[in-house]
Amino acid sequence: MADSNSLFYLFLLFSFSIFTSGVEAGAKDAPYVGINIGTDVSDLLSPEDLVTFLQSQKISHIRLYDSNADILKALSHTKIRVMISVPNNQLIAIGSSNTTAATWVQRNVVAFYPQTLITSISVGDEVFTTNPSSAPILLPAIESLYNSLVASNLHNDIKISTPHAASIILDTFPPSQAFFNQTLTPFLLPLLQFLSRTKAPLMMNFYPYYVFMQNKGVVPLDNSLFRPLTPSKEMVDPNTLLHYSNVLDAMIDAAYFSMKNLNVSDVVVLVTESGWPSIGDSKEPYATIDNADTYNSNLIRHVFDRSGTPLHPELTSSVYIYELFNEDLRANPVSEAHWGLFYGNSTPVYLLHVSGTGTFLGNDTTNQTYCVVMDDVDSKTLQAALDWACGPGRANCSEIQPGENCYQPNNVKNHASYAFDSYYQKQDRASGSCDFNGVAMITTTDPSQGSCIFPGSKRFGTNKTSEVGTATNTPMTSGEVGHLRRRRKKPTVQWYNPVILLVLLARIWL
First to last CA, the chain: 10
Q: Decide: 233 and 222 in contact? Cβ < 8 Å.
A: yes
Is residue 240 helix, strand or coil?
Answer: coil
CA distance 344 to 396: 42
Amino acid code (one letter) for 27:
A
Q: Decide: 357 and 374 in contact? Cβ < 8 Å.
A: no
CA distance 154 to 146: 9
Amino acid code (one letter) for 42:
S
- H or E element at residue 35: strand 33-37
CA nearest to 426, candidates 490, 486, 492, 375:
486
CA distances from 51 to 34, 58, 74, 150, 351 (A): 14, 11, 7, 29, 20
| Residue of 126, 143, 323, 399 marked active site | 126
CA distance 236 to 249: 12
Q: Decide: 56 and 340 in contact? Cβ < 8 Å.
A: no
CB crowding 378-409: b at 16 or more within 10 Å, else e = eeeebbbbbbbbbbbbbbbbbbbeeebbbeee
The answer to whether 273 is a known catalytic residue is yes
Is residue 170 helix, strand or coil?
Answer: strand
Three-state SS sequence of 442-486: EECCCCCECCECCCCCCCCCCCCCCCCCCCCCCCCCCCCCCCCCC
The total number of residues shown for the chain amounts to: 510
| Residue 143, preceding peptide bond in cis (omega within 30° of 0) | no
Q: Supply φ then ψ for residue 80, to 5 degrees.
A: -80, 125
CA distance 272 to 124: 12
Q: Decide: 40 and 344 in contact? Cβ < 8 Å.
A: no
CA distance 20 to 27: 9
| Residue of 24, 48, 273, 480 marked active site | 273
CA distance 440 to 453: 19
Active-site residue list? 126, 273
